[in-house]
Amino acid sequence: MINTLYPGRPNYTGALDGVFNFVHHDILVETSNNINVRIAYIKEHKPKHERKSRLYHLLYVDIPELTKDWDKACKDWDKALEDWDKAREDWDKAREDWDKACKDWDKACNDWDKVINNHKPEILAYVNKHIPDHRWDGKELRFD
């Protein structure tokens, strides 16, 4: 009897890539690019008492409608990932622009403060002339 469905059983001649059941014990169905890689891993690394059952349950899934829908979902996934990557690049660029703008803002604020400090005597003389009873204490207006 030709074995085209059970890759974990003897004499398998079916597809090596595609959709398979129970590639991992907690996932009903998933894709594999080479099911032989998983079979080798099971044989070498899984606990001995699990190996026979894991291999027995591997099943190539030949459901054309599932494969068609899976392929569409994969294409949608790839497009979403591409969009996400682009958005991440945009975000990184925006973050760089933001950081530069913040540095420019800080520099402008420092320059502004320097201008005020350099002209503080003139500014205070102007205020004293026009509002002689001002409540400025040198740091803030007082309201008491």
Q: How many CA atoms lie within 13 A of 36 on its CB side?
A: 7
For residue 108, pLDDT over 90 is answered with: yes
φ, ψ of residue 45 to 5 degrees: the values are: -120, -20
Per mean pLDDT, which range of 66-70, 118-122, 127-131 is the poorest?
66-70
Q: How confident is residue 3, by pLDDT bands cut at 50, 70 and 90?
A: very high
Only one residue has tokens 């994969």, namely 74
Cα torsion 76, 78, 84, 89: sign = negative
Q: What is the pLDDT of residues 61-104, one digit of tens each?
A: 999 899 899 889 989 999 999 999 999 999 999 999 999 999 99
The full set of domain ranges for the chain reads: 1-62
φ, ψ of residue 88 to 5 degrees: the values are: -65, -40
Mean pLDDT of the region 13-37: 95
**pTM for this predicted structure:** 0.58
